[in-house]
């Protein structure tokens, strides 16, 4: 695993954020169409303020997901009558959400097994 | 289906909307308007950066991704120096070999002449009987004679309406004297419109025009080739200076453009002279007036708007009317002769962008064979690198699985693998292109042999080769990087993560086995090829010529090149022979106008006393003019009668000696030939009495069987030209070279002694084609064997490591080391055996295709195939033995616990 250390500094961390952020956005939009600010608020609130979302990255992630046609966007007005760009989940995005969620669960389960310390791993 | 890109302004507006919404929320939480606004902004971070990133994402996102992939790939390769070095060197060697051979292939078969609009050029050839004398250098398939007579050329040129220019050229050797230094050079006799029609520009001075082809002997002007001017005259100012050609003063008008050699590919003349000066260059012939001396090659430039087919039909009418008027002057006016001369005659116009070449037919097969071999080597390299990448990729299953789980798509992983492949490919191509010119130089030097002419091939890589190499590299990179990509396209990532054995790649076992089999197969093909060609040159070298080929020197000498007038040529040649014969260390000296084992022929038909030709018999025999001691010097055994003797002189009775085949054909037996008469048809003055019969010896090349031959004395011949001298020495032939040159110089320092070479070298030169193929086949065979060794070792070392656990269990259950090693080696050998079984029929089919290039060996020679199987078997065994031994020596307990 020696090679892994050299990569961790840059790309992989971004990839990690991208991967999880995408998942979180998709999950938030499952509840219904929402604008960017709402998504950010929602993630922050639901994670009990543990996760802080960099807003710049958020909008780029939204754009990326839109490019992939996992979400669609159109301009509308917010509950307090302000102009905002509303995002909603496409059928493709819904599919992706299911897949990514199960992947994530398997990953965390595997990570958990290891971190909680199964018999053989401490030997290595 | 292109979606319109979202504009940056829209994105900016969205951010502004966000800030407003955020400020609103914060205001509801109790902050003042200004404070809420400030905090919303602060929380967002840099608005400008976000906008910049959006902008960049749209513009150069793909570029950034590519850079990132390349950077990451580069780092990966850097951390595996062993793998990278082997892969890059493998590719470099293969790509270098590929570029070199393709360059030769391109130069000989694909490239057009370096002239203006080569597409408009056509090559002329004709079908129909000829009478008289043909001076041919080969390259004439049936119905396509490329040599025309000068009068026919003049008529075609002046009366046609389809060409903007019709040009003529004929090759020759000439003696050139510049600053009192005389040497033998290759010359081209050309029509006045030659350079103008081709569109070749002068590098210096002016080239010929129509005024340089006025009347016989009236145009003593010369143009030098750029290469000759550069290499032999050091680019001295030459325009307007005088030079002696065969003793006659010519004025140099200019130097041709660099890169241009001749309208005939493969000819590299040093000097061009107008065709009207033919009597100076070749005094013994009167080509210009003869309708029946066929010696010039013709090319035409089509007028704009005229197609080749239109031109051909228009020109055929003219050609046939000219043939009709020629026929009226012939002796034989029979219906049969008319049929052959007129009715069956027609003119062909063929695309001439590459120029006509008698050499091209000779080099086509060898080049195709070389190209085939090099493509095998490239395929081999692709499989090799693919298998190395596969092995490397297999150890990266976890890495790729993690990347998948972190959100990377299959496309991104594929892109990453392609980027790594492209890096290897580019590095390999760079090494290959660095190696290619050097390799090409060596190869051209080798192929050029001891010939004094400028090499036909150039070692500079042009854009054709670069383009081909780039395309080949691209395809190769794609192929070998896709190999591991196939298995990573959609691995069941969770499985891979869960499986501690790391073998979550079931499909790759089949792939590994395919790689092993392909490597065994490709290298077996190349080894068999090498074996067949090496045996071929061994056979050619050892072929019995019928006379001893050792201790025999030869050189050319042409008194005409030193300006001797025709009547003085034979006497000075006899004087040279006499002077050499008495040199110390010389056993004998002889001369002939028909060099032995040099690919030369002098043929013609003969009238033989007491022999009635069958109807339509057109039987050509070899007709060398030799010196009285020639047969004795070569050591051609006498079968009956006597050899020529010094008492046979220019004025005594004309005598001839024939060989066994001749005697058998015309008289039925050796004895019956003695005392019979032989002459050239229609020329009673050539009548000679047969005084001896000699055994058949090889003449044209060591491959060709002897032809019926009739030797006559050059001193008794009407028009003698330059001769090839043969000197038999006692000691090593090289020791005699200087004394021979000195002896000739003593007679006349103007006499030019050409390259002095041994007969053994001459034979080597005559089988150069076969030797070149054999050399390359050997190089490629060895390369293939090494590549196979590396490739097999890589795959086997990997797959044995994969089986460590299995091996551990076997050994824990009591298997011996030997049993384990045997099991692994047997697996590989069974696979190799299967590959051999599939390859052998392919090898036989392939060898059958090249059997015209083989000599003295069957294309299915069991010894060669056996040797090939043995070699590849040994390589496979060795490549599997080392990893097998290593895995068998692990402690079973460790093996089981390791995972």
- Which residue from A37, A63, A104 is facing B54, i.e. has the nearest CB? A63
Residue A27: Cβ-neighbour burial (10 angstroms; 0-12, 13-18, 19+)? middle
**Which range marks the domain in which residue A35 is found?**
17-111
pLDDT, average across residues B214-218: 89
Q: Are B523 and B207 in contact (CB under 8 A)?
A: no
- Residues on chain B touching A61 (C-beta within 8 angstroms): none
Position A47 in a domain = yes
pTM summary value = 0.72
pLDDT band at B492 (very low <50, low <70, confident <90, very high): low
In tens, the pLDDT along B433-469 reads: 999 999 888 888 887 766 666 777 887 888 888 999 9
pLDDT at B561: 81
Instruction: Let me know: does B658 contact B709? Beta carbons within 8 Å.
Output: yes
How far apart are alpha carbons B591 and B613 in whole angstroms?
32
Of the ranges A90-99, B68-77, B852-861, the best mean pLDDT one: A90-99
Task: Specify whether B405 is located in the same domain as B421.
Answer: yes
pLDDT in tens, B371-404: 999 999 999 999 888 888 877 776 677 677 777 6
In this prediction, residue B222 carries a pLDDT of 95
Q: What is the pLDDT of residue A7?
A: 33
Q: What average pLDDT does the segment B540-548 reach?
A: 86
| Same-domain pairing of B567 and B519 | no
Average pLDDT, chain B: 85
| B692 within a domain of the structure (yes/no) | yes
Query: Helices marked H in B449-565 — which ranges?
Result: 463-488, 493-498, 507-542
A5 pLDDT exceeds 70? no
| Residue A124 predicted with pLDDT over 50 | no
For A68, how many CA atoms within 13 A lie in the half-sphere containing its CB? Answer: 18
The share of chain A scoring above pLDDT 90, in percent, equals: 10
pLDDT of B617: 67
CA of A85 vs chain B CAs: smallest distance (Å): 6
Residue of A nearest to B47 (CA): A56
Indicate if B651 and B735 belong to the same structural domain.
yes
Structural domain contains residue B663: yes
Tokens at B708, concatenated = 């019926």
CB contact under 8 A, A60 and B57: yes
Return the DSSP state at B137. -
Phi, psi of B168 (to 5 degrees): -135, 150
**Residue A50 forms part of a structural domain:** yes
Cβ-based neighbour number of residue B531 at 10 Å: 24
pLDDT of residue B157: 94
Q: Which among A36, A104, A110 is the nearest to B14, CB-wise? A: A36
Task: Please tell me which residue of chain A has the smallest CA distance to B24.
Answer: A80
Pairwise pLDDT comparison (B124 vs B514), residue with the higher score? B124
Q: Is the dihedral of CA B57, B63, B66, B72 positive or negative?
A: negative
Q: Average pLDDT, whole number, for chain A?
A: 75
CB contact under 8 A, B49 and A56: yes
CATH value at residue A46: 1.10.10.10
User: What band does A122 get if pLDDT is binned at 50, 70 and 90?
Assistant: very low
Q: Is A55 on the interface with B (CB under 8 A)?
A: yes
Coil vs helix vs strand at B170? strand
**pLDDT band per the 50, 70, 90 thresholds, residue A44:** confident
- Same domain, residue pair B251 and B221: yes
Q: Would you give the DSSP letter of residue B709? A: B
pLDDT of B194 higher than 90: yes
Find how far residue A49's CA is from the centre of its chain. Answer: 15
pLDDT interval class at B542 (50, 70, 90): confident
Q: Phi first, then psi: what are they for B437, rounded to 5°?
A: -60, -35
In a domain, A78, yes or no: yes
Final residue belonging to a domain, choices B293, B321, B353: B353
Higher-confidence residue of B592 and B701: namely B592
Counting Cα atoms < 13 Å in the Cβ hemisphere of B176 gives 26
d(C-alpha B804, C-alpha A23), whole Å: 40
Predicted local confidence at residue B456, as pLDDT: 76
DSSP state of B220: -
Domain count of chain A? 1
A56 vs B45, B405, B407: nearest CB? B45
Distance of CA B493 to the CA centre of its chain: 52
Q: B54 or B609: whose pLDDT is higher?
A: B609
3-state secondary structure of A114: helix
Q: Which of the residue ranges B160-164, B607-611, B696-700, B766-770 would you say has the lowest mean pLDDT?
A: B766-770
Q: How many domains does chain B have?
A: 4
Q: Would the pLDDT of B7 be above 90?
A: no
Over residues B820-846, the mean pLDDT reads 88
Give mean pLDDT, residues B619-644: 92
Both tokens assigned to A76 = 């509308």
CA–CA min distance A54, chain B (Å): 7
Structure tokens at B629: 């001691």
B765/B389 Cα distance (integer angstroms): 45
The answer to the question of residue B113 being in a domain is no
Flag whether pLDDT at B503 surpasses 80.
Answer: no
Same domain, B537 and B598: no
β-pair type (B552-557, B757-758):
antiparallel
- B603 CA to centre of own chain: 29
Domain stop point among B323, B353, B383: B353
pLDDT of residue A116: 78
Question: Is B104 contained in some domain?
Answer: no
A34 CB near a chain B CB, below 8 Å?
no
pLDDT of B57 strictly over 70: no
* Residue B86 resides in a domain: no
Question: What is the distance between the alpha carbons of residues A79 and B310, in angstroms, rounded to a whole number?
Answer: 84
B246-265 b/e (C-beta count within 10 Å ≥ 16 → b): bbbebebbbbbbeebbbbbb
Is A79 a member of any domain? Answer: yes
pLDDT at residue B340 tops 90? no
CA distance B559 to A63: 90
Q: Residues 6 or more apart from B97 whose CB is under 8 A from it?
A: B374, B377, B378, B432, B439, B779, B780, B783
Residue A119 within a domain: no
Residues B323 and B365 in one domain: no
Q: Of B78, B101, B133, which closes a domain?
A: B78
Considering the domain architecture, whether residues B347 and B369 belong to the same structural domain is answered as: no
Residue A3 lies in a domain: no
- Read off the tokens for B861: 């020679």
> Within this chain, do residues B715 and B735 fall inside the same structural domain, yes or no?
yes
pLDDT tier at B882 (50, 70, 90 boundaries)? confident
Contact B54 A59 (CB under 8 A): yes
pLDDT in tens, B603-615: 888 888 888 777 6
Q: Does residue B392 share a domain with residue B331?
A: no
Residue B638: pLDDT band (50, 70, 90) is: very high
- Statement: residue B754 has pLDDT above 90: no
Range of the domain at B595: 559-751
According to DSSP, the residues that pair with B206 across neighbouring strands are none
Short-list B841, B385, B880, CA closest to B377: B385
Mean pLDDT of B787-798: 83
Residues B366 and B509 in one domain: yes
Give the pLDDT band (50/70/90) at residue B153: very high
Residues B738 and B783 in one domain: no
What is the model's pLDDT at position A19?
65
Average pLDDT over residues B757-777: 84
For residues B443 and B435, what is the distance between their CA atoms, to the nearest angstrom?
12
pLDDT of residue B889 exceeding 80, the answer is no
Quote the pLDDT of residue A46. Answer: 80
Verify that B533 and B569 share a domain, yes or no: no
């Amino acid at each position: 695993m020696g090679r892994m250390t050299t990569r961790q500094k840059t790309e992989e961390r971004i990839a990690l954020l991208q991967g999880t952020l995408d998942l979180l956005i998709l999950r938030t939009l499952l509840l219904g169409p929402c604008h960017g600010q709402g998504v950010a608020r929602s993630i922050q609130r639901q994670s009990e303020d543990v996760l802080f979302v960099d807003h710049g990255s958020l909008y780029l992630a939204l754009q990326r997901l839109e490019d992939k046609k996992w979400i669609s966007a159109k301009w509308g007005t917010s509950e307090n009558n302000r102009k905002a760009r509303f995002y909603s989940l496409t059928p493709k995005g819904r599919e992706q959400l299911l897949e990514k969620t199960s992947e994530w669960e398997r990953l965390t389960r595997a990570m958990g097994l290891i971190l909680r310390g199964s018999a053989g791993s401490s030997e290595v | 289906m292109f979606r319109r890109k979202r504009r940056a302004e829209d994105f900016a507006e969205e951010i502004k909307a966000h800030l407003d919404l955020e400020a609103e929320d914060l205001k509801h939480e109790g902050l003042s308007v200004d404070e809420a606004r400030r905090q919303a902004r602060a929380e967002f971070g840099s608005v400008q950066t976000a906008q910049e990133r959006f902008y960049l994402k749209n513009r150069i996102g793909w570029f950034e991704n590519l850079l990132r992939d390349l950077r990451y790939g580069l780092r990966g390769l850097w951390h595996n120096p062993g793998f990278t070095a082997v892969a890059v060197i493998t590719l470099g060697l293969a790509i270098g070999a590929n570029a070199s051979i393709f360059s030769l292939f391109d130069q000989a078969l694909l490239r057009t002449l370096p002239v203006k609009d080569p597409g408009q050029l056509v090559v002329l050839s004709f079908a129909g009987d000829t009478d008289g004398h043909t001076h041919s250098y080969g390259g004439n398939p049936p119905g396509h004679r490329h040599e025309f007579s000068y009068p026919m050329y003049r008529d075609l040129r002046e009366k046609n309406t389809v060409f903007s220019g019709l040009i003529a050229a004929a090759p020759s050797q000439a003696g050139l004297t510049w600053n009192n230094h005389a040497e033998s050079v290759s010359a081209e006799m050309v029509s006045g419109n030659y350079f103008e029609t081709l569109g070749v520009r002068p590098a210096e001075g002016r080239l010929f025009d129509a005024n340089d082809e006025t009347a016989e002997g009236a145009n003593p002007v010369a143009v030098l080739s750029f290469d000759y001017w550069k290499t032999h005259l050091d680019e001295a100012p030459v325009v307007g200076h005088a030079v002696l050609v065969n003793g006659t003063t010519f004025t140099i008008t200019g130097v041709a453009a660099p890169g241009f050699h001749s309208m005939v590919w493969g000819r590299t003349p040093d000097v061009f002279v107008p065709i009207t000066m033919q009597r100076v260059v070749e005094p013994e012939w009167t080509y210009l007036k003869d309708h029946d001396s066929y010696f010039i090659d013709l090319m035409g430039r089509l007028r704009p708007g005229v197609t080749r087919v239109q031109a051909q039909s228009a020109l055929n009418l003219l050609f046939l009317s000219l043939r009709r008027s020629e026929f009226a002057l012939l002796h034989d006016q029979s219906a049969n002769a008319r049929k052959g001369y007129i009715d069956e005659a027609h003119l062909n116009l063929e695309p001439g962008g590459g120029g006509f070449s008698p050499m091209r037919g000779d080099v086509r097969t060898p080049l195709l064979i070389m190209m085939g071999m090099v493509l095998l080597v490239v395929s081999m390299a692709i499989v090799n690198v693919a298998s190395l990448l596969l092995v490397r990729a297999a150890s990266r299953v976890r890495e790729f699985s993690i990347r998948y789980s972190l959100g990377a798509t299959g496309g991104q992983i594929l892109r990453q693998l392609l980027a790594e492949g492209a890096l290897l490919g580019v590095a390999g191509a760079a090494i290959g292109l660095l190696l290619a010119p050097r390799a090409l130089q060596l190869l051209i030097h080798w192929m050029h042999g001891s010939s004094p002419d400028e090499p036909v091939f150039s070692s500079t890589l042009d854009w054709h080769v670069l383009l081909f190499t780039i395309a080949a590299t691209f395809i190769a990179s794609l192929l070998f990087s896709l190999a591991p990509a196939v298995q990573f396209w959609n691995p069941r990532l969770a499985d891979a993560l869960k499986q501690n054995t790391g073998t979550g790649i079931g499909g790759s076992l089949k792939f590994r086995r395919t790689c092993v089999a392909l490597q065994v197969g490709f290298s077996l093909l190349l080894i068999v090829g090498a074996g067949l060609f090496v045996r071929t040159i061994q056979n050619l070298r050892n072929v019995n010529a019928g006379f001893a080929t050792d201790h025999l020197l030869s050189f050319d000498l042409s008194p005409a090149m030193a300006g001797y007038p025709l009547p003085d040529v034979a006497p000075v040649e006899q004087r040279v022979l006499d002077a050499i014969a008495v040199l110390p260390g010389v056993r004998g000296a002889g001369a002939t106008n028909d060099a032995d084992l040099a690919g030369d022929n002098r043929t013609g038909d003969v009238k033989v006393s007491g022999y009635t030709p069958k109807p339509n018999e057109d039987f050509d025999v070899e007709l060398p003019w030799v010196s009285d001691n020639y047969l004795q010097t070569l050591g051609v055994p006498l079968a009956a009668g006597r050899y020529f003797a010094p008492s046979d002189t220019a004025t005594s009775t004309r005598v001839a000696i024939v060989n066994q085949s001749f005697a058998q054909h015309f008289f039925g037996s050796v004895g019956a030939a003695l005392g019979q008469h032989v002459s050239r048809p229609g020329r009673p003055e050539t009548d000679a009495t047969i005084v001896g019969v000699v055994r058949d010896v090889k003449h044209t090349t060591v491959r060709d069987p002897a032809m019926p031959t009739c030797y006559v004395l050059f001193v008794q011949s009407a028009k003698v030209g330059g001769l090839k001298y043969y000197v038999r020495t006692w000691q090593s032939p090289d020791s005699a070279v200087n004394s021979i040159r000195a002896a000739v110089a003593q007679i006349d320092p103007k006499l030019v002694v050409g390259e002095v070479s041994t007969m053994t070298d001459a034979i080597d030169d005559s089988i150069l084609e076969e030797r070149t193929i054999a050399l390359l086949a050997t190089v490629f065979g060895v390369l293939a064997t090494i590549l196979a060794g590396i490739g097999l070792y890589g795959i086997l070392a990997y797959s044995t490591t994969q089986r460590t656990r299995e091996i551990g269990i076997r050994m824990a259950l009591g298997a011996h080391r030997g049993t384990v090693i045997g099991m692994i080696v047997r697996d590989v050998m069974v696979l190799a055996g299967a590959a051999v079984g599939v390859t052998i029929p392919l090898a036989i089919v392939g060898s059958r295709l090249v059997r015209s290039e083989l000599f003295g060996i069957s294309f299915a020679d069991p010894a060669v195939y056996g040797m090939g199987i043995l070699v590849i078997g040994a390589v496979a065994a060795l490549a599997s033995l080392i990893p097998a031994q290593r895995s068998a020596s692990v402690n079973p307990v460790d093996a089981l616990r390791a995972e």
